[in-house]
Amino acid sequence: MNKDIEASRLRVSRRRALALGGTISLGGLIAACSGNSGTATTTSAAAASATTTSGASAAATSGDAVTALLAKAPQCVMSKEETQGPYWFDVDSIRGDIREDRPGTTLQVAMRVQDNSQCNVDGSIGAVSNAVVEIWHCDAGGVYSGFESGSLSANGGGGGGGGTPPAGGMGEPPSGAPGGGMGEPPSGAPGGMGGGMGGSGETSDGSYSVGDTEATTTDDGTYLRGAQTTDANGIAQFTTIFPGWYMGRTTHIHVKVHIDKKTVLTSQTFFDETLLDEVYSQSPYSEHTGRENNTNNASDGIYDDTGLMTVEKQSDGSYLAVINLGIDA
């Protein structure tokens, strides 16, 4: 495994993230999220400028660049409900920069929530403000925060780059699991989901999510997880790293949309295979070998074209990835 990835996993815990102020106070921020009309107390751009755990400031991509790329992406298309998978828990964290020192290629993510009953193709009508968009994904070595011990033990302590879900196999039910929830565990998984995940009966009870089934974490990590409030244009922005991959799944980012603390969409977003080849040829991704034998978009049982992100490479070598999320508000 790449030493930078391994070292960064040792540095961050949920307690450390909170102690260093990497999370914006939620009280006043979410108090405004009582519906999908009006102007939010703060915008995603404001939250994206919060101080990160490393002390650096996360600068959101310019609004013009984001809007222009969103205009090129498919619009007024209903997003497909997908399983949340075995790695979700309520991190209850409003922040724009979710990296927490994760090594990897910088990825700016912009997601616009659109009400399909009102949506028009130029995006000027149907934007859903004051929704909370939450994302989470694995690191460059294929491991999710909160589940390192399970993931790494399944790989003999992290050999081969890590990333195989606990209890072996894919660890995610087929698409179409009822309610976008955990679905059925993989065959033979001990104790339900295995690796300390699932089976606890715990549900979210945070500032923007109430009642969703949570997996039981194995550690205190919170990296590459967070939420943003959509602005008046329905847009939420994040600074993260390009996600890695793990056996049994194509590369993806998980997303939930919450309105009035209720989850109105659980889905996953994906990337073009040519782009993946480009990113994964560079360190630290190149140290995670074996991708040629792994699942790709065409063979992934969850992949859906409606989740394909529109991506442009930026002048500084980072990437901007956008998607319009269609919901029935």
The predicted structure's pLDDT at residue 37:
38
Tokens encoding 104:
């990897």
pTM of the model: 0.77
- Checking if the pLDDT of 135 tops 90, the result is yes
The predicted structure's pLDDT at residue 57:
38
Say which residue, 22 or 302, is predicted with more confidence: 302
- Radius of gyration of the chain from Cα atoms? 18
For every residue of 229-250, DSSP letters joined together read E--TTSEEEEEEE-----TTS-
Per 3-state DSSP, the chain is made up of helix, strand and coil in percentages (nearest 5) of 20, 20, 60
* Under 8 Å between Cβ of 266 and 175: no
When the pLDDT of each residue in the chain is averaged and rounded to a whole number, the result is: 77
The predicted structure's pLDDT at residue 62:
74
**pLDDT, mean of residues 151-178:** 40
* Under 8 Å between Cβ of 158 and 289: no
pLDDT per residue as tens digits for the range 20-66: 444 443 444 434 443 343 333 333 333 333 333 333 334 456 789 99
pLDDT per residue as tens digits for the range 199-253: 457 999 999 999 999 999 999 999 999 999 999 999 999 999 999 999 999 999 9
The predicted structure's pLDDT at residue 292:
94
The predicted structure's pLDDT at residue 69:
97
Phi, psi of 16 (to 5 degrees): -65, -40
144, 111, 142, 141: which is closest to 127 by C-alpha? 111
The predicted structure's pLDDT at residue 63:
86
Query: Which of 1-10, 73-82, 91-100, 102-111 shows the lowest per-residue confidence on average (mean pLDDT)?
Result: 1-10
- Checking if the pLDDT of 280 tops 90, the result is yes
The predicted structure's pLDDT at residue 120:
85
Query: Which of 142-151, 194-203, 274-283, 315-324 shows the lowest per-residue confidence on average (mean pLDDT)?
Result: 194-203
| Neighbour count for residue 49 (Cβ, 10 Å) | 14
**pLDDT, mean of residues 297-307:** 98
Please, what are the domains in the chain? 3-327 (2.60.130.10)
The predicted structure's pLDDT at residue 47:
38
87, 78, 251, 84: which is closest to 177 by C-alpha? 84
Say which residue, 60 or 161, is predicted with more confidence: 60
pLDDT per residue as tens digits for the range 88-112: 999 999 999 999 989 999 999 999 9
SS3 of residue 57 by DSSP:
strand
